Amino acid sequence: MEGVTSTWVEPSNTATALLLLGRGSDPATERGVECPGDLPAPSDPDLVARATAAKAALGERVFVLGHHYQRDEVIQFADVTGDSFKLAREAAARPQAEYIVFCGVHFMAESADILTSPAQQVVLPDLAAGCSMADMAALPQVENAWDVLTELGLAERTVPVTYMNSSADIKGFVGRNGGVVCTSSNAKRALEWAYQQGEKVLFLPDQHLGRNTAVLEMGFSLEDCVLFDPHKPNGGLTAMQLRDAKMILWRGHCSVHGRFTLESVNDVRDRVPGVNVLVHPECRHEVVRAADLVGSTEYIIRTIEAAPAGSAWAIGTELNLVRRLALAHPDKQIMFLDRAVCYCSTMNRIDLPHLVWALEELVAGRVVNQITVDTDTAHHARVALDQMLALPGA
């Protein structure tokens, strides 16, 4: 692609609304890749019929994965729904499927490509479906941070741990340097393993999951954690701060979960007496402390399924999932934790027109938007993923 320079322009209200709905693009933060060929119009009344026909024509040759945060119009065509790691493993368990159509975001499709066989091809219906959190930790930045630790004599005592929500490059870096991948549900086990290997952890890319796990589950203090800012010399930290730290947190966060505040929690408790506040561990530390229950996406779903009729729940996670849970459990009062709605704008880019386009192209024998990870990166990323699978209780 040709190099592109851009000048910041304050977006209009309409442009912002379109971005949140997945109909616009932000060239400063997204890949902004357009689909070649003819993308069906969102107003096409035959979209559901076209998707159904294309999927039927492909039969067992295609396996469609749908992340929990996807739109309902897309999730209805998923063969399996789940979080990112569950979906990647499900893809690997379907070797007969030539095509894995991943309705999620870029790093998820990369993980599927790493875990599936070379004969399988992974397709992302819209290449602009990225993850702002994953993009906050670029490989050159992480390598520079490792150089800082090396110069201080700390790298050999530091174990890198990366959240599943990271690029294949970062997973590969972690695998090359003796680290491990974690999910939001096994982060404690991953950190316990890491501290058996070394004295410190470099936790990538979500500061909140790292901090919440270290402090609330492992008994560390907030003073044991420092925040490494890749945009500042030496991460904005002194040599003493890095030497004293047990947890070196990367300055990254989820744009959806990071928006929930302590005020959100207090507000919903004032409005809804007896409400249960249930949040994802990607939320800010003070939000997690104030919540009644904290857990992964799968944990949130299981908790709501098991909750008694008549109970009230304010959930701090992506809106598509919260709305789906509310519709599935009309006997319970289920609401979004924040007053303002908030979809994951990049996850929301996978809409029915993109899915129809991708499936119909496969029917025509054209593999579009294929996601591939180079052999060396895939090997080392697989090392880090395999280490996660070898954790006790995995």
1-11: per-residue pLDDT in tens? 333 222 223 33
Q: How far apart are CA 67 and CA 278, in angstroms?
A: 20
Q: Do 207 and 253 meet the contact criterion of CB atoms below 8 Å apart? A: yes
What pLDDT band is residue 348 in, cutting at 50, 70 and 90? confident
CA separation, residue 154 to residues 103, 162, 244 (Å): 40, 18, 10
Closest to 281 (Cα-Cα) out of 257, 256, 313: 257
Write out the DSSP string of 241-278.
Answer: HHHH-SEEEES---TTGGG--HHHHHHHHHHSTTPEEE
What pLDDT band is residue 86 in, cutting at 50, 70 and 90? confident
Q: Which residues of 159-187 are buried (b: 16+ CB within 10 A; e: fewer)?
A: bbbbbbbbbbbbbbbbbbbbbbbbbbbbb
Give me the percent of the chain exceeding a pLDDT of 90: 75
**pLDDT the model gives residue 92:** 86
Range name among 20-24, 206-210, 213-217, 315-319 with the lowest pLDDT average: 20-24
User: 92 or 363, which is more confident?
Assistant: 363
Count helices and strands in the chain by DSSP H and E runs: 17, 14
User: What SS3 class is residue 284?
Assistant: coil
Range name among 35-49, 126-140, 279-293 with the lowest pLDDT average: 35-49
Q: List, as residue ranges, the binding site.
A: 67, 84, 131, 163-165, 184, 254, 280-282, 297, 344
**pLDDT the model gives residue 36:** 53
Mean pLDDT of 151-177: 97
At residue 392's C-alpha, the angle toward residues 184 and 246, to 5°, is 60
Q: List, as residue ranges, the binding site for [4Fe-4S] cluster.
A: 131, 254, 344
**pLDDT the model gives residue 17:** 45
Whole-angstrom Cα Rg for the chain: 21
What pLDDT band is residue 102 in, cutting at 50, 70 and 90? very high
For the record, the structure tokens of 216 come out as 């609330």
Mean pLDDT of 51-76: 94
What pLDDT band is residue 249 in, cutting at 50, 70 and 90? very high
* Average pLDDT in the chain: 89
Residues in the chain: 394
Q: List, as residue ranges, the binding site for iminosuccinate.
A: 67, 84, 163-165, 184, 280-282, 297
Closest to 122 (Cα-Cα) out of 138, 107, 137, 134: 107
pTM attached to this predicted model: 0.85
Mean pLDDT of 127-134: 89
What pLDDT band is residue 303 in, cutting at 50, 70 and 90? very high
Range name among 85-94, 123-132, 280-289 with the lowest pLDDT average: 85-94
| Cβ within 8 Å of residue 115, ≥6 positions away | 88, 89, 91, 92, 382, 385
What pLDDT band is residue 25 in, cutting at 50, 70 and 90? very low
Give me the percent of the chain exceeding a pLDDT of 70: 89
Write out the DSSP string of 221-237.
Answer: -GGGEEEE-TTSGGGG-
Mean pLDDT of 309-315: 97
Q: How far apart are CA 78 and CA 180, in angstroms?
A: 29
**pLDDT the model gives residue 37:** 59
20 has a pLDDT exceeding 60:
no
Return the sign of the alpha-carbon dihedral for residues 187, 162, 278, 108. negative
User: 87 or 213, which is more confident?
Assistant: 213
End-to-end CA distance of the chain: 41
Mean pLDDT of 105-110: 92
Q: How far apart are CA 53 and CA 48, in angstroms?
A: 9
47-58 and 352-363 are packed helices; what angle lies between their axes, rounded to 10 degrees?
40
